Amino acid sequence: MFQVTFRKRVVMVLSIAGGLAVLAAATLGFGFDVRIVQMKDQCDPTSFNAAIGPGTCVGHNGGVSFDTFLSVLRRTQRFGAWHFAPREVRLHDGQPFQARNDGGEAHTFTEVDEFGGGIVPLLNQLSGNPEPAPECLQLGRGDFIAPGDSTEPEVESRGTHHYQCCIHPWMRADVTVQ
């Protein structure tokens, strides 16, 4: 005959409780890792601040001068050092994600129906995006993400969602929720 001791009962109860806690956490979304999209740039503070204004580029992570930035944009319509990483993200329904500005300039992480231009006409022209995405024309102060700051967008439906920087419109990412 099988006999359950007090110690075995405690172990069984704790095992069941632990399993239920893990199941509840996964159901509520706590069991997912937070996915991070990094906003990156390599602006040189001295040249960017001289050309655009004080405080445009902060930090010490960039070695690309403003003149080089414009020259590369004129040739290629984008500058690879200004990008979202990764460019494609897959999430489970309810999984949190974060966009973090690891660069030296302000960026936006704006959901758009279709990729387009942003709010800086010169950068739209140089990047081949003459028509601003309508969502970029509706930005508020809180939509700008300063260097070192982050945002946690809430994706409310399954499918692929397009995000772009409304300052540097070639900075783009697709977030697919399964």
Q: Identify the pLDDT of residue 14.
A: 47
- What residue ranges of the chain have pLDDT lower than 50? 10, 13-14, 19-27, 29
The listed CATH number (3.40.109.40, 2.60.40.420, 3.30.70.100, 3.40.47.10) that belongs to domain 33-177: 2.60.40.420
Domain ranges across the chain = 1-31, 33-177
Q: Which residue has the tokens 């499918």?
A: 159
Q: Answer yes or no: are the C-beta atoms of 167 and 143 closer than 8 Å.
A: no
Q: Identify the pLDDT of residue 103.
A: 96
> 45-52 vs 66-76: helix axis angle to the nearest 10?
80
Q: Identify the pLDDT of residue 29.
A: 47
